[in-house]
């Protein structure tokens, strides 16, 4: 399957900025289950200062804000080809970050009474194997924490979302990470995109889910919000211990009292006819 992605971020500052730096993790990973056919990034109000792959094999671009800028616009456009029949299986662990690192909690995945209760419930259930148990865990989290946009923000921890009983995909992923780690599994956060229907409609959102490492299988994805393991509709961009490691964009600037940010994301499937390039389905 081919998926076209447009991701634009627009910063506005209330006064000229003497210094600003932005760290971007927006380019999809090139792996055995997906291939980046085309990817282009443009920057207005700044310039690309450096690029590197971090300890999680995420591609990172550092953008320096032009001195005196009042606006910065970053646009990414590309096409990614994904493979069918994945069933959420990513494969063996790779990269310099050791597997044991993903068994350690972070401030956003530290369990409290609410997450401990979820873990206790899944421990009391019978399951044929670890994968069945993890699917059951995903279902419990979805049942206890309703999907509700605006109920949380980027700083909300998994425990806070579990206590509130509502959140979005980021919160579901953090709770899944916390619970899986309590069950003894390495677990990591994934940021990416989802082309969620067959109708050719553009979907205006990025997405997040969890991956858990299982002995003799490797990493397997669990999308709590949709109750499935990721398939060919999913595009993996960045991974890490939690949202902080995989955040699409983090920024620091000096001189402005107020900063306004607007993000626009469009994700759509494309079709390829024999002898032709990608063509939009809509």
Look at the alpha carbons of 76, 79, 85, 89 in this order and tell me if their dihedral is positive or negative.
negative
Helix H segments across 59-168?
113-123, 130-144, 158-164
Identify whether residues 110 and 211 lie together within a single domain: yes
Rounded to whole angstroms, how far apart are CA atoms 101 and 64?
A: 31
Identify whether residues 221 and 252 lie together within a single domain: no
Name, in order, each residue with C-beta under 8 angstroms of 80's C-beta and a sequence gap of 6 or more.
2, 3, 5, 28, 34, 35, 36, 37, 235
Identify whether residues 128 and 164 lie together within a single domain: yes
Burial class (CB in 10 A: 0-12, 13-18, 19+), 141: buried
Identify whether residues 225 and 164 lie together within a single domain: yes
Rounded to whole angstroms, how far apart are CA atoms 27 and 76?
A: 8
In three-state secondary structure terms, 138 is helix
Burial class (CB in 10 A: 0-12, 13-18, 19+), 254: exposed
Selection from 77, 75, 66, 79 nearest residue 9 by Cα: 75
Give the domain extent around 179.
89-242
Identify whether residues 61 and 125 lie together within a single domain: no
CATH value at residue 55:
2.60.40.2250
Identify whether residues 71 and 28 lie together within a single domain: yes
Rounded to whole angstroms, how far apart are CA atoms 10 and 130?
A: 43
Identify whether residues 140 and 123 lie together within a single domain: yes
**pLDDT tens, residue by residue, 225-263:** 999 999 999 999 999 999 999 999 998 878 777 788 899
Identify whether residues 94 and 230 lie together within a single domain: yes
Identify whether residues 159 and 256 lie together within a single domain: no
**pLDDT tens, residue by residue, 26-69:** 999 988 889 999 999 999 999 999 999 999 999 999 999 999 99
**What is the total count of domains within the chain?**
2
Identify whether residues 121 and 160 lie together within a single domain: yes
CATH value at residue 158:
3.10.620.30
Name, in order, each residue with C-beta under 8 angstroms of 129's C-beta and a sequence gap of 6 or more.
none
**pLDDT tens, residue by residue, 168-195:** 999 999 999 999 999 999 999 999 999 8
């Amino acid at each position: 399957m081919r998926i076209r992605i447009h991701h634009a971020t627009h910063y506005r500052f209330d006064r000229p900025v003497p210094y600003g730096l932005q760290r971007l993790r927006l380019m999809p990973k090139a792996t055995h289950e997906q291939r980046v056919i085309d990817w282009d990034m443009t920057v207005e109000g700044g310039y690309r200062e450096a690029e590197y792959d971090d300890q999680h094999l995420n591609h990172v671009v550092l953008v320096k804000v032009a001195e005196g800028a009042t606006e910065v616009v970053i646009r990414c456009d590309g096409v990614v080809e994904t493979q069918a029949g994945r069933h959420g299986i990513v494969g063996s662990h790779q990269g310099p970050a050791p597997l044991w690192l993903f068994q350690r909690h972070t401030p956003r995945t530290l369990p409290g009474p609410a997450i401990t209760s979820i873990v206790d419930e899944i421990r009391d259930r019978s399951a044929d194997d670890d994968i069945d148990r993890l699917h059951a865990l995903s279902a419990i989290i979805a049942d206890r924490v309703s999907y509700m946009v605006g109920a949380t923000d980027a700083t909300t921890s998994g425990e806070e979302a579990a206590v509130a009983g509502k959140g979005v995909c980021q919160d579901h992923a953090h709770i899944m990470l916390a619970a899986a780690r309590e069950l003894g599994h390495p677990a990591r956060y994934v940021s990416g995109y989802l082309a969620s229907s067959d109708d050719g409609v553009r979907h205006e959102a990025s997405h997040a889910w969890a991956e858990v490492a299982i002995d003799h299988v490797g990493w397997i994805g669990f999308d709590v919000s949709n109750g499935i393991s990721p398939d060919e509709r999913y595009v993996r961009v960045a991974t890490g211990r939690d949202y902080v490691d995989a955040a699409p964009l983090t920024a620091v600037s000096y001189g402005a009292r107020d900063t306004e940010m607007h993000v626009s994301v469009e994700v759509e499937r494309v079709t390829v006819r024999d002898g032709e390039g990608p063509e939009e389905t809509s």
